[in-house]
Chain A
Amino acid sequence: MILRMLRQSWRRNPRRKLLSIATVFLAASLLSALMLVSIDIGDQMAREMKSYGANILMLPAEQAALPSLGDGEDNPLAGQSSLDESELPNIMDIFWRNNIAGFAPLLSGEVKLDDGLAVKVVGTFFDKRLTVPDEDDYHTGQRTISPFWHVQGEWPDDEKDEALAGSALARAHGWRAGMELTVGGAPLRIAGLLTSGGEEEDALVVPLRLAQQWLDMPGKIQAVRVSALTVPENDLSKRALRDPDSLDAETYDLWYCTAYVSSIAHQLEEAVSGSIARPIWQVAASEGVIIEKIQSLLIMATCAALLAAAMGIASLMTSVLMERSREIGLMKALGAHDWQASLLFYAEAILGSLAGGLLGCLAGWGLARVIGWQLFDEPLRFSWIVAPCVLLISVFIAVAGTWFPARRIARLYPVEVLHGRA
């Protein structure tokens, strides 16, 4: 009979129910979108943060002893010694290799063009194919770690004699993309003009191989910029950074196996001989913190949305119960138990919330995709865990929203409503 009542009540008076389904629907779609975003935003944001540049700088040990490289603006000309290019693939063999988004070596100096002009040259990887353990087709270079480099024209091919002309340099000499220069008798094509906001704008950026040849430093590099995904620093990581040897074995393991920027830097030093890896603090330290803050902000927004939905349901249910108080009074007059009367309304609320929750999940997923596209230019991943969570929470807010009004059912005396005295 209760099923029959539910069915008839729904069939013959769907407006109210649609309203409560709509409330749950809105809450559920907001909730699932926020959940999907907060689950995925950590990865997305970390990836996005890479656009602020590499967060670890590797230098030759002797040179790093010089002060003041903390602001990330390296000056590779300052030292004489160098690192070996052949050791670069070791970077992709460290414990936290999966957190290494990419890296690019640097070698710079001054080179005379054949027309007599002396220019600053920076050798690096653009999108260089490397042989590394575990990965077949590994490419890395400035395209990965410097997404803020704006190239007008094309990116050079690491294997061809092509270059990026820094925009300031190109402007000074009237160079355009597609022009050819000559260096040491060989042609060098300017594939594109580079706007980076850094000192590369005054230089000619060329494949590492060419710089090594012109500067007569075969197989050598002066620095490596590494982009790594890290977790926020804490006391442990700061202590380790000061002196890893001060840790006992167990804390050392804990530190080593956590993606702190300091432990990744430490592992990079182990991977490339004679190197010192320095976190570029402004970027590295803030990344994890910003992501955490954004996540907690999202969680707060989600809670607020939930609370609002529960209150919406409660007020909706209260007005439904007011409207239907005669019905409830009648049921009681006919001998219904309080729970029998309440059950009907709980069942209605739960069914409605399931419908709304299900639809809300779908809509939330769509919303999350839109948010993903808007913020990160790619859709967020759908985590299946969200669906049951949202359904459960939908039912919970429906039950919570019905609970207060349902207590009025218990207190309602049939006399009061059946004879019009409320």
Chain B
Amino acid sequence: MKKDMANAIAVETRQVGKKFGSVTALDGIDIRVGSGEFVALMGASGSGKTTLMNILTCLDTASSGEVWLDGVNAATLDEEGRREFRARHIGLVFQQFHLIPYLNALENVMLAQHYHSVVDQPSARAALELVGMEHRLEHLPSQLSGGEQQRVCIARALVNRPPIIFADEPTGNLDEENENRVLDIFEKLHAQGHTIVMVTHNPVLGHRAERIVYLQHGRIVDAPEAISATARQTNGSRAFAMAASESARP
């Protein structure tokens, strides 16, 4: 497992901070995700997970620090550059799916191709097949269950073969059965070599990732037990989460 880490680094942040007015959402975040890694980001509600994800996916900018994505410093990109980078390098999966309601499953996937380059129906079909949705191509989002919608959403994130897939609470709106399905897909993608960063606050799901990074009050901490232990928090937040290498999977 540690083999990948030595190779390429997909995501690396250096002392990333984010303030919303007087609220400090992120404070000195250092993360490194190796290419092909499957990392879970965990933390209590309000701990800054979404804020960090938005910065990593170039939807938002950091107030301070550096964000390196595939060897590019996102802080140096302007809005147009971030748009371009998002289209080329990043697959997004949202908690609320965000499918276009009047387009069917296939068309929703093709839309991502349209904004990326050109529409290619066979490969859109293949992406839906990969998530087991080949029998629902013509269905509208409203005709699909939540789990099915999320799988369409994952297919849409995959279709342009982005180097990294980011998923913010992808199972937040799903029941247990569908949770497992989605995680199965992520594991399958991981096995195929995709880099995946997934936010969750379900420890069971978190432990299915290769590695868990814990966030608390906008800082990276060692382990969930550390939540109340301020002394350990100072230790933990300085260490690279990666170096701790507490890989959850046997």
Which residues on A are within 8 Å of B, measured CB to CB? 1-2, 4-5, 8-9, 11-13, 326-327, 329-337, 340, 413-415, 418-420
**Contact yes or no, A334 B59, CB < 8 A:** no
A335 in complex: contacting residue of B87, B102, B104, B110, CB < 8 Å: B87
With an 8 A cutoff between CB atoms, is B111 at the interface? yes
With an 8 A cutoff between CB atoms, is B96 at the interface? yes
Q: Which 3 A-B pairs have the closest CB atoms?
A: A335-B87, A12-B102, A1-B114
- Bound-state CA distance A369–B241 (Å) is 80
**Contact yes or no, B98 A335, CB < 8 A:** no
A13 in complex: contacting residue of B86, B101, B115, CB < 8 Å: B101
CB distance from A334 to the nearest CB of B (A): 5
**Contact yes or no, B92 A8, CB < 8 A:** no
CB distance from A368 to the nearest CB of B (A): 38
**Contact yes or no, A413 B107, CB < 8 A:** no
Residues 183-222 of B at the A interface (beta carbon under 8 Å): none
B107 in complex: contacting residue of A4, A329, A336, CB < 8 Å: A4
Task: Identify the interface centre among B83, B140, B156: most chain A CB within 10 Å of its CB.
Answer: B83
Known A333-B86, A334-B87, A413-B59: A418·B94 in contact at CB below 8 Å: yes
Give every chain A residue within 8 A of B54 (Cβ-Cβ).
415, 419
With an 8 A cutoff between CB atoms, is B105 at the interface? no
**Contact yes or no, A335 B115, CB < 8 A:** yes
Which residue in chain A gives the minimum CB-CB distance to B102? A12
**Contact yes or no, B50 A335, CB < 8 A:** no
**Contact yes or no, A420 B92, CB < 8 A:** no
Give every chain A residue within 8 A of B84 (Cβ-Cβ).
335
Give every chain A residue within 8 A of B92 (Cβ-Cβ).
333-334
Contacts between the two chains (Cβ within 8 Å), count: 71
Give every chain A residue within 8 A of B83 (Cβ-Cβ).
332, 335-337
Give every chain B residue within 8 A of A1 (Cβ-Cβ).
110-111, 114, 119
Interface residues on B, range: 20 to 34
Give every chain B residue within 8 A of A413 (Cβ-Cβ).
59-60
CB distance from A336 to the nearest CB of B (A): 5
28 contacting pairs across A/B (C-beta < 8 A): A2-B114, A4-B107, A5-B103, A5-B111, A8-B104, A13-B101, A326-B98, A327-B101, A330-B100, A332-B83, A333-B59, A333-B92, A333-B98, A334-B87, A334-B111, A335-B86, A335-B88, A335-B112, A335-B115, A335-B116, A336-B83, A337-B83, A414-B59, A415-B59, A418-B96, A418-B98, A419-B94, A420-B96
Give every chain B residue within 8 A of A9 (Cβ-Cβ).
102
CB distance from A208 to the nearest CB of B (A): 79
CB distance from A337 to the nearest CB of B (A): 7
Which residue in chain B gives the minimum CB-CB distance to A330? B98
- Bound-state CA distance A5–B116 (Å) is 16
Give every chain A residue within 8 A of B114 (Cβ-Cβ).
1-2
Give every chain B residue within 8 A of A419 (Cβ-Cβ).
50, 54, 94, 168
Give every chain A residue within 8 A of B102 (Cβ-Cβ).
5, 8-9, 11-13
**Contact yes or no, A8 B103, CB < 8 A:** yes
Give every chain B residue within 8 A of A418 (Cβ-Cβ).
59, 94, 96, 98
- Bound-state CA distance A327–B111 (Å) is 12
CB distance from A196 to the nearest CB of B (A): 70
Q: Contact mask B52-71 → A, CB, 8 Å, 1/0?
A: 00100101100000000000
Give every chain B residue within 8 A of A327 (Cβ-Cβ).
100-101
Which residue in chain B gives the minimum CB-CB distance to A336? B115
Give every chain B residue within 8 A of A332 (Cβ-Cβ).
83
Which residue in chain B gives the minimum CB-CB distance to A13? B102
Which residue in chain B gives the minimum CB-CB distance to A11? B102
Give every chain A residue within 8 A of B101 (Cβ-Cβ).
12-13, 327
- Bound-state CA distance A5–B57 (Å) is 26
Task: Identify the interface centre among B84, B111, B116, B168: most chain A CB within 10 Å of its CB.
Answer: B111
CB distance from B97 to the nearest CB of A (A): 10
Additional pairs, 18, CB under 8 Å, beyond known A330-B98, A418-B96: A1-B119, A2-B114, A5-B100, A5-B107, A8-B103, A11-B102, A12-B140, A13-B102, A326-B98, A333-B57, A333-B59, A334-B115, A334-B156, A335-B84, A335-B87, A335-B112, A335-B116, A340-B115
- Bound-state CA distance A421–B112 (Å) is 23
Give every chain B residue within 8 A of A414 (Cβ-Cβ).
59
Give every chain A residue within 8 A of B116 (Cβ-Cβ).
334-335
- Bound-state CA distance A337–B96 (Å) is 23
Q: Contact mask B111-145 → A, CB, 8 Å, 1/0?
A: 11011100100000000000000000000100000
